[in-house]
Amino acid sequence: MAKRDYYEVLGVRRDASEHDLKRAFRRLAMKHHPDRNPDDDTAQDKFKEAKEAYEILGDPDRRAMYDQFGHAGVDPGVGAGFGNVADIFNDIFGEFFGGDRRSRPRRGSDLRYGLQLDLEEAVRGLEVQIEVPKYHLCETCDGLGAQHGGVGECSTCRGVGQVRIQQGFFSVQQTCPECRGSGRMITNPCDDCRGQGRIRSEQTLSVKIPAGVDTGDRIRLTGEGDAGQPGARSGDLYVEIEVRPHEVFQRDGEHLYCEIPISFSAATLGEKIEVPTLDGPEELKIPAGTQTGRLFRLRGKGVQPVRRSRRGDVLIRVVVETPVNLDKKQKDALRAFEAGLSGKKVGKHQPLAGKWRDKFSGFLQKVSH
């Protein structure tokens, strides 16, 4: 099945900034996270689709390739038979100017590691140990792939690294298929790496997570990717952050949202209640006559993002809870209380109900004519 356009997946314009991309991905990640949609079979697919789109568009180099060539520009399987673009230019200019046409040692591959954090860990920051499977240079042969004296000149290209193929009137020069452009052949392979020069194993790395990271953030560890060929540098490791859904708070950038139920009497008479923050409980005064949905703000109790100096707020939305499972005595008391508010006193004690009654009466008059 054809992949959707990555910009369409994230719901952003093609000129979207890095901040816009991150915000769009965070919104989709929270919406489609499998932990929040246990009964939705498509949630995991949508989450993976959004993650893939952000991985490409969030990397400036890969985004540039995608903008120019579409999915073919970032698909590692497309164009694999044509070689690296830099190698093609090296072949052309090397042939004109007589330079050394042997291919340069290849840099190691970049790696990605997904790290899940609790909200508290992401807000405060921490240092974690991670296990990363990756290639490292064989210590026995120092990455050469051969035992001592086990490397000789390639018999196909005679050490040049290139071969010339005649096709009719044209002569085409390409990388030697035997030595892959190195000009050398291993005659006595290393017993440990079997001639590969690299060994794959689990590596333990220590990663410092800065305070304030959020879903979609990436931490780059230079040189901690796969080892390259001898003489070339290793790739980089990108640790991609994903913050797990929290049982109390929802995060939006530097702000934290929380919904708290309050009793009918607390909303009517006013009351001081205890509310949560990441620094510990705080006291919040609920004024008399508070309606459901009212939003209270605790300034400076939210998150301090990595790239901003100002700490966000905790926003608390109160919900007036209707009493349930009342006995007869409680029901009679409630009916008596309600009777005291009826009639002309509705507008005084229940302004919303009074306004609604006036609107409803006006509507009935219009439709009755």
Q: What is the percent of the chain with per-residue pLDDT over 70, rounded to a whole number?
A: 87
pLDDT exceeds 90 at position 188: no
The reported pLDDT for the residue numbered 294 is 95
Domains and CATH numbers, the chain: 1-82 (1.10.287.110), 250-320 (2.60.260.20), 337-368 (no CATH)
pLDDT exceeds 80 at position 74: no
The reported pLDDT for the residue numbered 159 is 79
CB-based contacts of 347: which residues, under 8 Å, 6+ apart?
A: 353, 354, 355, 357
d(CA 116, CA 34): 13
The reported pLDDT for the residue numbered 83 is 36
Give the three-class secondary structure for 73.
Answer: helix
The reported pLDDT for the residue numbered 76 is 55
Residue of 67 and 220 predicted with greater confidence: 220
Sign of CA dihedral 64, 67, 69, 71: positive
Span 222-234, average pLDDT: 86
Mean pLDDT of the residues in the chain? 83
CB atoms closer than 10 angstroms to residue 265: 11
Q: Which two tokens stand for residue 127?
A: 């240092």
pLDDT exceeds 80 at position 162: yes
Taking alpha carbons only, the member of 250, 258, 247, 244 closest to residue 34 is: 244
